[in-house]
Every structure is written in structure tokens, then in C-alpha cells.
Amino acid sequence: MPATSTYKRPIYTINDSLELLKQEIQIHLEGTTTHIAFEEKEAKLHAAFIEAERKVLEGLLSQYDINMPVISFDGKDYRQAVRCENTYISSVGPVRVERSLYRTKGQHGTICPMNLRAGMIEGQWTPRAAKQALFVVSSLTPYEGEKLFKELGAMQPSRISLDRLPKKLGACWEEKREIFEESLRVQLEVPEEAVTVGVSLDGVLIPMQGGKVLPGDSRYEEASCGSLTYYDEEGEALATRRYGRMPERKKITLKSFLAKEIEYALKCNPNLQLVKVADGARDNWKFLEEELPKGLSVLDFYHAAEHLKKAFEMAYGVDSQNANIEFFKYRTILRHDLCGIDKVIRKLRALVKKNPKKKLLKTELNYFKSNKHRCRYEELSAKHFPIGSGIVEATCKTLVSQRLKLSGMCWRMKGGQAIITFRALLHCYLFDDAWEMLSAEYKSEITPPKNIISFRNEARKIVSS
């Protein structure tokens, strides 16, 4: 038999609040406040509704409390230690509720049945309030989020609370990250129109707090970003999954995620053509070509064009007319000629012979020679395969740079990863599904101990007889 609370929030507080709301509505409907600006009326009416909702919410939340001498939780009996009031952050502002705290033998801390049964987040937030706050702070800084909530006129969490929440939730997510990711993965359907799946990875430098010289000392390290995109037969993108991780050696976690995503995609549709797109970083290609299933490899055309421009500038001089003419000529050849990469390599070889002392020019030649099999741009374009890593470049910008590289920012691993994780879920339209799983981690059922249940059952038999 489920335990019920013996504590009931005084009903008059709810009635009084509803009566005040009724009076406020009636005053405005009767037109006795025409001298007040409409904006002020709107604000007062909103505040009245919020206050009424807040009182009702206090009453609803109190129903999740348990006021018994003994309860059972996680296979142990807990005895009531104290009964006191506590203030929580709700979606309509602070709510204050009386609740019981319980302690078991040999344990210093206490548990709160009301928090567990209602699924209160980090012992401070109602689930809806925490979800709203996490949504906002994944897009805005805590300072901006504080101002936004204040303007909306419902809950008004502090900047400090908004800063702490994603870190706590991020830590909870990381504990079961692989389980959560697998659950989200199987919920995503491979588009029926998809004929190609493209995978890319890249990195972006972010300021990390080092603390070696001064507490605020910073250094830049590379966060990693990856994307998986489905394309139709015309080469149009149908759906994209984005992912990001804070600086990590060899991008181990990101690579593991991308490998599992590709495995699942090909399992759902074995006929998908896998296309791997990246810049010239050796570590990226070692993963893409050696650890992923067989597919087409493509050197990002825009990176290739940048190296081509650099080569001609080394040969003819920066901003020289000859450098620009040759660059545009061979850029077009590289992009639209079936033998473009061969012609580019021949041209660069000739330039190296003419300029033997320019060692960096030879470096650019070797760049194209080592990536020759990845530069079949005209052939790939004719089949509507992707030839650029624009999607993962955009991921680096929108997922990381626009939020983690604002003026004066300096990050630690825990806080930065939390923002990247939930920001990625927002971008992939998976935030609601992810929140459902994450918030469930804060919810547990509390029952009376077996001896109390047995006692109640016996009492019912006696009464019924």
C-alpha cells in the first residue's frame, strides 16, 4: 500500500490567493482602472495569476510528502529525523513546503521522500523549472538567463543557481552517458529517402582555465566536434546529428560516439553509401579510414583550396597578380576537372623545381600528394555526394564558439562539457527526450516498511469482519 502524507497545506492560503485573483480580474473587467496604462494592468494581472498558481503548487507539492515514523527506501528502513519547511524554485517562483527528512542507522545524511517522489532536481528545483532553466542556460550565459527570467516575471533564479544547475545535471548525464546515448540513438529513424550518410569531425580551440600562474590563467585547448548527416539522392541534407566534447586526447569519446552512430545507421539501412569528409589532419583520417566501415574519403574542398592558395602565394608572392590568377585557374580545375588533382600536383611539382629553396612550397605539394585519393571532387559531385565539411564547421561555430568563446570566458572540463552536451541535444531536437531520461534519475518511490503494511492489512481484516 503506497504511503500517503498526513500533512496538508492550509487550504485557506490557496483559497485566499484564488479570491485575490478573482478580485483582480473583476476590477479590470469592470473598467475601474482605465487611468492605469495597459502594460501595467497586464503586469498586475500576470502577477496575480502567478501568485495563485504558486499557492496551488505548494498544496500539490505537499501531497508528495510523507509524515510517518518509519519508511522503506532502497531496501533499508529510515526513521524520521526532522520535520521542517524548505523553499524550492518552481516555474512560477519560490514555493515553500513543509516536509520530513529521514535517516537510517550508520548514515550521516538524510533523505527527503517528497524530493524523491516528486522528482525534485538537485534538491532545489521542481522538474519543470529545472528543465526551463537548463534550456535557457544552454543558449545564454547565466547572467543573460537571469535577466531573461526576471523580464518574464515568473521564476527568477539567480545567476549563481543558473551556473550550478548544468554542472550538476551534466555530471548526472556523464554517469550514464552511454546508456542515454543508446536510448536516444534507437529513437532516431534513418530517413527513408536517405541514400548517403556523411560523417565528419573537426576541432575548435577554446579557453581553458589552467591556474598555473594565476587563478584565472587560461590556455587554449581543442574541443572536438562531430556530425553525421543523411542525404537524399539529389544530395540534399535530410537530417543531422551533432555532437561535441571538451578537450580530450585523441578525441576518444567523440570517435566512439561517431562509430556507434555509423554502425546503427548502416544496420538500419545497409545500402547507405558512407562518405567521410574532413580536413587533412592525420589523426582524423586514421580514425575515419581505419576504424570506420569502408566508404568514400573526401578531403574538404575548402581546406584544399586554402592550401592551394597558400602554395601559389609562396611561389609568386602574397597578393601578387600571378598568384591570384593561378589560384583561381587551378581551383576551378581541381573542382570541375575529372583529372584535376593530377594537374594540380604536376603544376606544384614544376613550381617546386623552380623554387627549390622554398621548403614550405614542397610541404604543400606533399599535402596534395598524400590526399590525392580524397580529391575526386568532380566525380563525387556528379553523384551528389558531399565534398565539403561545412556542416561540421558550422557545428564547431554554433555548438561551441557561439557559447563558449564569448568575451572573458574561461572554462573547466565539467562546466564546459555540460553546456556542449545539452546544447547539442537542443540542436538535434532531442532535448525533450533526453530530459525525460535525465529527470527520471531524480525520482524514486518510497514505501512504508513491511511490518507497517502487514499491520494495516490485519487491521482491515478485523474491521471488515
HSE on the CB side for 170, CA within 13 Å? Answer: 25
Give the pLDDT confidence score for residue 166 in this predicted structure: 97
Of 273, 274, 340, whose CA–CA distance to 301 is shortest? 340
Give the pLDDT confidence score for residue 125 in this predicted structure: 98
Give the number of other CB atoms < 10 A from CB of residue 346.
11
| DSSP-assigned letter for residue 272 | P
Place of cell 590563467: 217
Alpha carbon distances (Å) from 85 to 4, 71, 398, 409: 18, 19, 43, 38
Give the pLDDT confidence score for residue 42 in this predicted structure: 84
Domain 193-299+388-411 has CATH 3.40.50: no
Give the strand order in the sheet containing 93-103. Answer: 70-73, 76-90, 93-103
Q: What is the DSSP string of 283-335?
A: HHHHHHHHTSPS-EEEE-HHHHHHHHHHHHHHHH-TT-HHHHHHHHHHHHHHH
Give the pLDDT confidence score for residue 450 in this predicted structure: 60
* Cα(239)–Cα(329) distance, integer angstroms: 35
Task: List, in sequence order, every residue forming a beta bridge with 197; answer none if it has no partner.
Answer: 230, 274
For the chain, what is the radius of gyration of the CA atoms?
A: 30
Per domain, the residue ranges of the chain are 193-299+388-411, 302-374
Q: What is the DSSP string of 418-444?
A: HHHHHHHHHHTT-HHHHHHHHHHTT--
Helix, coil or strand: residue 208? strand
Burial (CB count within 10 angstroms: exposed 0-12, middle 13-18, buried 19+), residue 284: buried
Amino acid at 194: A
Question: pLDDT per residue over 184-243, tens digit each?
Answer: 998 888 999 999 999 999 999 999 986 554 555 568 999 999 999 999 999 999 999 999
Spatial neighbors of 282 by CB under 8 A, at least 6 apart, are none
Is the CB of residue 365 less than 8 Å from the CB of residue 345? yes
Q: Which residues of the chain have pLDDT under 50?
A: 1-12, 213, 453-456, 458-459, 461-463, 465
Angle (deg, nearest 10), helices 127-139 and 413-427: 100
Give the pLDDT confidence score for residue 32 in this predicted structure: 65
217: phi then psi, degrees, rounded to nearest 5: -60, 140
Question: pLDDT per residue over 144-165, tens digit each?
Answer: 999 999 999 999 999 999 999 9
- What cell does 463 get? 474491521
